[in-house]
Structure 1
Amino acid sequence: MKRIMVGVAAILLATTGGVLFWQGHAESRASLPDAPAALGPTSARLFAATALPELPGAPEASQKTREQKRFHRVDKDDDGKITAAELLAPRQKAFAKLDADHNGALSFNEWAAKTIGKFQGADDDRSGWLTATEYAETAPKRKAHTRCSC
């Protein structure tokens, strides 16, 4: 029974190979169009004159400078003027996070809260100072740089 199955598989493979070979051979005999003649100086001028016209209604890219783009990012109401409120709005959120007692002023301890917390977290033995090993834990974590596969 095994011999019959192997024989049938061999016949099917041979038939498939023959069909693929026959189709590939037929495609290679298809005639290709002749190559175009080289353009002379007169033909090149005629070809340039018959170039496609500009598309009607195509939008043009704005040529804003970096400073104009930066200005328009801050000018939220697009009146052409930057008010103090528009300029300080992004900074107010960061200030509010630091102002722990919400009195509108930052004390040194409020301003240094993150650093104080980092020191206390690194001081494992609660000695009030950092050993070299404890200090090494306070180093900023570097982000892994992925290389471009360009």
Structure 2
Amino acid sequence: MWRYWVGAVVALVLLVGGVLWWRSTAVAQHGISHAATASASPDADDEPMPATPAASEKTREEKRFSRSDHDKNGAISRDEFLAARHRNFAKLDVNNDGRLTFDEYAVKAEEKFGKADADKSGSLNPAEFATTRVARKAKAACACQPKGDDGD
């Protein structure tokens, strides 16, 4: 008998989980949450929402095209398209022989390992390994102005 009860509880948990997952995908697709719809009725004391910033005249693709079109002739040649790859390859090919060996490829990783291995044991403990994490740039903060205390 207990198996039936366990089956019923598992089915209920799966059903609730499915409904919650379905609602979260609907929110992600449409960008509307219940909190946003519930607070849609503005109070008289609320300040109006700031206007959204105007879009720039160039789209991201136009800007990317402009960065790649070095001679500004309106077309990207094969050399222009591969210029960044050539630069990156040249940085790695330290002996300038046109071939990239594993040692040339792994120089930065070996230097990073050497700096992290503080006790020079040839292996990294958890504290040393933590120093090798990639430093990510902080996301831009909200450009919204906070409400001021002007007594209103």
TM-score by structure 2 length?
Answer: 0.48
Structure showing greater radius of gyration is 1
TM-score by structure 1 length?
Answer: 0.48
